[in-house]
Amino acid sequence: MHSALARINNVSSLFSTCLMVLLAAVALSSLFVTADPKGRIDVVSLKVYNAKAKRYPFKEQEFGFVKFDVDADLTPLFNWNTKQLFVYLEAEYANSQGVNNTIVLWDRIVSRKEDAHVVVSSGRNKYKLKELYESFKNTSPATFSLKYNVMPYVGLLTYGEAARTDGQEIPEARDAIA
Amino acid sequence: MAPLQDIFEGKIDFIGQRRVDSIARVALAACTIASFVVGYALQSLRVTMGTFALSTLLVVVMVVPPWPMYNRHPVRWRKD
């Protein structure tokens, strides 16, 4: 502390320690929040069509098309340490080989508390619903679930599930109307 | 040249150094707690970080420059 430089050194190291303690306190304060919001998903329609895979022009592939309604009030998840919510709709089924598959069909980033009441009517899947073995024959019924990921400003990522449907049989593939 | 070096050195006496040390430590610890409490009460992370930054700036201004109050007890060298 004998010179200005020594004082700057001292204060800056003290400042960084205090800053880390402050950030740890902020992270801990939002880790044990017990909000568990629930919502509702309705799968309006699920259709499967035969088509050609985009990448390999001669490869046949079955694509699924989902229309759904979602209504979930996720406002309890917004606290002072919430930066944004990542909300996504997943389809889960076991394929003909018995392997469990989970596919993200639709997602949305919610950055403000005002937008946190997620209401989607007649939403369509953003991402392709296709099976690795090119066909949905002999797969188990698919359940659709609405999950969320809370992204804090400081701290650990936390996950949760807001809604889940019963198993729905994936229908037979049909040819697209030309 | 020498006055410029003195300005940049910013020497303070020993009593001043002890005072500066305790001021810095107490002020930073108190401001950490205060900014967390205020921000949590107002549910705004911006308030927390803002008050913490401002208070650190205040501490730096109070502690780093060689204010005359830190030079009130200069070292008395022996005359012989």
pLDDT band at A177 (very low <50, low <70, confident <90, very high): confident
The pLDDT assigned to A2 comes to: 87
Q: Residue A143: what pLDDT?
A: 93
Contacts of B1 (CB under 8 A, 6+ apart): none
Q: Is the CB of B28 less than 8 angstroms away from the CB of A8?
A: no
Higher pLDDT, B51 or B11: B51
Domain limits for position B26: 12-63
Token pair listed for A139: 């797969």
Q: Is residue B76 part of a domain?
A: no
pLDDT digit string (tens) for A113-152?
998 999 999 899 999 888 887 777 888 899 999 999 999 9
Cα–Cα distance measured from residue A12 to residue B56, given in angstroms and rounded to the nearest whole number? 9
Q: Is residue B35 part of a domain?
A: yes
Phi-psi region at A18: left, alpha or beta (left = phi > 0; alpha = psi -120 to 50): alpha
* Helix, strand, coil percent content, chain B, rounded in steps of 5: 75, 0, 25
Q: What pLDDT, on a 0 to 100 scale, did the predictor assign at position A60?
A: 86
Q: Which residue of A has its CA nearest to B30?
A: A18
Q: Which pLDDT tens digit goes with each residue over A45-64?
A: 999 988 888 888 888 888 89
* B5, B48, B61, B75: best to mutate for the A interface, most A CBs within 10 A: B48
A106-111 mean pLDDT: 94
Count up the domains in chain B and report the number: 1
- Residue A54: the pLDDT is 81
Check A4 against B66: CB less than 8 A apart.
yes
Residues 6 or more apart in contact with residue A110 via CB below 8 angstroms: A74, A84, A85, A86, A87, A116, A118
pLDDT at B32: 95
d(C-alpha B12, C-alpha B16), whole Å: 6
Sorting pLDDT into bands at 50, 70 and 90, what band is A167?
A: confident
Confirm whether B19 is domain-assigned.
yes
Chain A residue numbers with beta carbons less than 8 Å from the beta carbon of B21 are: 1, 10
Q: Do B64 and A79 touch (CB under 8 A)?
A: no
pLDDT in tens, A4-54: 899 999 999 999 999 999 999 999 998 887 788 999 999 999 999 888 888
Residue A97 reports pLDDT greater than 90 = no
Q: What is the pLDDT of residue A178?
A: 59
- Residue B56 is assigned to a structural domain of this protein: yes
Contacts of A8 in chain B (CB under 8 A): 60, 64
Q: DSSP letters of A78-131?
A: --TTEEEEEEEEEEEEE-TTS-EEEEEEEEEEE-SGGG-EEEEEEEE-SS-EE-
B17-41 tens-digit pLDDT: 999 999 999 999 999 999 999 999 9
pLDDT of amino acid A91: 93
Residue B71, in any domain of the structure: no
3-state secondary structure of A61: strand
> Given this model, what pLDDT does residue A35 score?
84
Q: How confident is the model at residue B8 (pLDDT cuts 50, 70, 90)?
A: confident
